Amino acid sequence: VRFLVGKSALTMAEYFRDEQQQDVLLLIDNIFRFVQAGSEVSGLLGRMPSRVGYQPTLATELASLQERITSTNKAAITSIQAVYVPADDFTDPAAAHIFSHLSASVVLSRKRASEGLYPAVDPLASASVMLTPGVVGQRHYDIARAVRRTLAEYEELRDIIAMLGMEELSAGDRAVVARARRLERFLTQPFFTTGSFTGTGGKRVSIADTLDGCETILHQVEFDDNETDYYMIGSLADLKKASKE
């Protein structure tokens, strides 16, 4: 049943797209269960398993589902899929094949959650084919690339910091670390759903405010402020307001 339910739901979505000419939002939770069901069916049929015990038809089974999620001239099917990654291993055959079909991915990180950085989205592991100058604009694209580059450089410096400390870094590397740590905290955002538990009200931050804040931090030269001031603030306007108070 689990192996067939995904395609049954997709058939219904195709009906609304093709016959009713309506745009459809298809939610799949969890696409990994479809892979698991296929593996169990394959075992019952006596097929020889492939890598990591998955069915030899893993790629074709996933393609038969994912390739049907597409647009026509009159309507479209847009799918949001939850993906379980076994042991957080993105090289796992199931995860690798699933991600190859997705146009965008938002990766939730246990590491960021353990550090209290919410939403716990890993900006380096997440990606989107829509992040191009032609879609989001040149400024948005340049800032996003600069943020990812700064965070990537910080990740490379983490081991050196753990072994030798910040004092052994060059002035340029210390500036990279300072910017990256402020960016990590600036990208946190209070949730409306947890406001009653944390005592901090939720905040909506526009794309324009996010870009302005990231650009300001990227161009920051002096770091006499405290990086914790950027934690759960919303926009930089909130930080300036708090400093005046």
In the numeric block, the tokens 């209290």 are attached to: 116
- Between CA 135 and CA 140, with CA 136 as vertex, the angle to 5 degrees is 150
In the numeric block, the tokens 């870009």 are attached to: 211
Q: How confident is the model at residue 79 (pLDDT cuts 50, 70, 90)?
A: very high
CA atoms within 13 A on the CB side of 40: 10
Indicate if the pLDDT at residue 136 is higher than 80.
yes
Indicate if the pLDDT at residue 202 is higher than 90.
no
Indicate if the pLDDT at residue 199 is higher than 80.
no
Q: What is the mean pLDDT of residues 213-218?
A: 94
Neighbours of 65 (CB within 10 A): 19
The pair of three-digit structure tokens given for residue 92, joined into one six-digit string? 């796992």
What stretches of the chain show up as alpha helix (H) in DSSP? Answer: 2-18, 31-44, 58-66, 93-100, 110-114, 133-136, 138-164, 171-186, 195-198, 207-218, 236-244
Give me the residue spans of the domains in the chain.
2-102, 133-244
The pair of three-digit structure tokens given for residue 68, joined into one six-digit string? 């049907």
Residues 6+ apart with CB under 8 A from 221: 175
Q: Is the separation of the CB atoms in 207 and 140 below 8 Å? A: yes
CATH of domain 133-244: 1.10.1140.10
Indicate if the pLDDT at residue 168 is higher than 90.
no
Which pLDDT score, from 0 to 100, does residue 244 have? 64
Which pLDDT score, from 0 to 100, does residue 243 have? 65
Q: Identify the bridge partners of residue 38 per DSSP, sorted by sequence position.
A: none
Indicate if the pLDDT at residue 197 is higher than 80.
no
Indicate if the pLDDT at residue 158 is higher than 80.
yes
Indicate if the pLDDT at residue 245 is higher than 70.
no
Closest to 69 measured CA to CA, from 2, 5, 6: 6
Q: How confident is the model at residue 120 (pLDDT cuts 50, 70, 90)?
A: very high
The DSSP code for 108 is: B
Model pTM score: 0.84
Which pLDDT score, from 0 to 100, does residue 96 have? 94
Indicate if the pLDDT at residue 55 is higher than 80.
yes
Distance of alpha carbon 18 from alpha carbon 183, whole angstroms:
45
Q: How confident is the model at residue 147 (pLDDT cuts 50, 70, 90)?
A: very high
